[in-house]
Amino acid sequence: MVNRCKFWLPKKNRQCANSPLLNSTFCGNHTQRSHAQWIPCPIDPSHSVLQENLKSHLNRCPLLKRVRSLELQPFYQKGINAGDEYDYDEVEKAAVDDSALTSQMKRNAVYAMTGLEFSALVAKIKSVHSSLCSNIPGSYKIPGACSIWTQQEIDKKLPYQEKHVLQQASILGNLEEFGGLKQSHLSYNSTNGQCDSNKESENHNAIPAVVEFGAGRGYLTQMLSDCYGIKKVVLVERKSYKLKADRSLRQKESLILERLRIDIEDLNLKAVEALQGVEYLAIGKHLCGPATDKRYFTDLGFTKEDFHAISWFTSWAVDADHGSEFSVADHSAQLEIMFAMLLIYIYSLFLSHLLQHTCMWEKKESCPDSDLCAVDEIVRQMQPTDRAALGFMCKDIIDFGRLKWLESQGLKSHLVKYVPFSISPENNLLVAGT
């Protein structure tokens, strides 16, 4: 049996497949490391390097060649989308600092809070959510234009799941209702499993181009092209993926396809040659935490540390098996009662240990195994559905901030729940236009 690294990967439900280092049970990626010696690579923060080897590593980092090639492209402009409301140097420094923050680091910061600090933050999150975004409407739209996908009449070799088809179809249905898409009356060819663009009826209202941000494998664009006859597509994605839709898309003679491997923060769309002089529709199925107005959170009374905690809480949203009947509103009252009881519990502990001249409000690092660590106790008391409710509140608050920013730019905007929870728990859709 081949010797493998003993590090357990919970998301993949298996051990690491790499070979261990000599005289170690772990590979180089999972060997115990001293934070004083290892630092994130400035070129690619997803991996770390020994500080003493940093200078030599920068000359041979695997991503160096791609980064240098990217910097020569006319559409590359460092930090162009980082925001212009603050001093750029400060924004860039904050972005670098934030990019080095891992989920584990955010978790540690949360667990280092006192019980009162944690409960106060949760109470603030609940209050903000209740006042701003507790009633996001549902808008599940499956357009007739997507019938070849929803009725499974497309190429059976395409790697997709039914729930993903329903999500993407509803995204396009909401865009159609909003006025961003027009049906192009394509003729479906059952022989090759594709719409026949050569038989497309003339449509002067069709959107000439589409930009998909965070495109991943590109199957949202695949459906968009099949069902709405888009002629020009630009896929923007910073990562590399296998099993992309690009091969199928490039077989369409009438479609111009370009994939840009770049971070959205550094992309100057005005310099993309394929988009010059044409209108385009911008879409994206996923947005990450950094795509957020930091001033919005400041105005709500949250600190930068609060935002990091909130972004970490969002991971709780999909930890529970909450099913089709789950509702944030249904669990909001439960959270309020639970935290009131926990505050009473924490206060009683505080009085008890105060009498014993013991300070229970030390940071978590000073009592890693002690029952006096209040945040540990609070989290243990929470039901999975209660944690999920808090996570969804945080997601809603983040998305509502994006909605308010779009409205501040003079755009007509809608925030809706575009599929039921039974299809996908992450079901917020933000649509905006002139």
Q: pLDDT digit string (tens) for 257-294? A: 999 999 888 999 999 998 988 888 899 887 665 667 78
pLDDT score, position 278: 86
Q: For residue 413, report the phi and psi dihedrals to the nearest 5 degrees.
A: -135, 145
Please tell me whether residues 85 and 110 are part of one structural domain.
no
What values do phi and psi take at 190, rounded to 5?
Answer: -70, -15
Is 3 among the domain residues?
A: no
Which pLDDT value is given to residue 401?
A: 92
Last residue of a domain, one of 64, 89, 114: 89
pLDDT given for residue 332 in this prediction = 60
Asked if 97 and 85 sit in the same domain, the reply is: no
Instruction: Decide if 161 is inside a domain.
Output: yes
Q: How many domains does the chain have?
A: 2
- The backbone torsions φ and ψ at residue 141, rounded to the nearest 5 degrees and listed phi first, read -125, 120
- For residue 364, the model assigns a pLDDT of 42
On whether residue 249 sits in a domain, the answer given is: yes
Q: Choose the final residue of a domain: 89, 123, 148.
A: 89
- CA-CA distance, 45 to 43, in Å (whole number)? 6
**Of the candidates 175, 255, 258, 261, the residue with the CA atom closest to the CA atom of residue 208:** 255
Same domain for 61 and 106 = no
Q: Which of 160, 252, 124, 152 is nearest to 200 (CA)?
A: 252
Whether 392 and 426 map to the same domain: the answer is yes
Residue-level pLDDT at 408? 92
Alpha carbons within 13 angstroms on the beta-carbon side of residue 119 total: 23
If we measure between CA atoms, which residue out of 297, 345, 373, 3 comes closest to residue 121? 297
What was the pLDDT predicted at 22? Answer: 81
Last residue of a domain, one of 55, 89, 123: 89
List the domain range (segments joined by +) for residue 415. 90-358+369-434
pLDDT at 197: 42
1 within domain boundaries: no
pLDDT at residue 199, rounded to an integer:
44
Q: Is 242 helix (H, G, I), strand (E, B) or coil?
A: coil
Burial 74-113 (b: 16+ CB within 10 A, else e): ebbeeebebbeeeeeeebeebeeebeeeeeeebeeebbbb
Q: In which residue ranges of the chain is pLDDT below 70?
A: 1-2, 33-36, 83-100, 155-160, 183-207, 287-291, 320-373
Residue 403 lies in a domain: yes
**Whether residues 162 and 268 fall in one domain:** yes
Inside any domain, residue 280: yes
Q: Are residues 340 and 286 in the same domain?
A: yes
Residues 120 and 13 placed together within one structural domain of the fold: no
What does pTM read for this prediction? 0.72
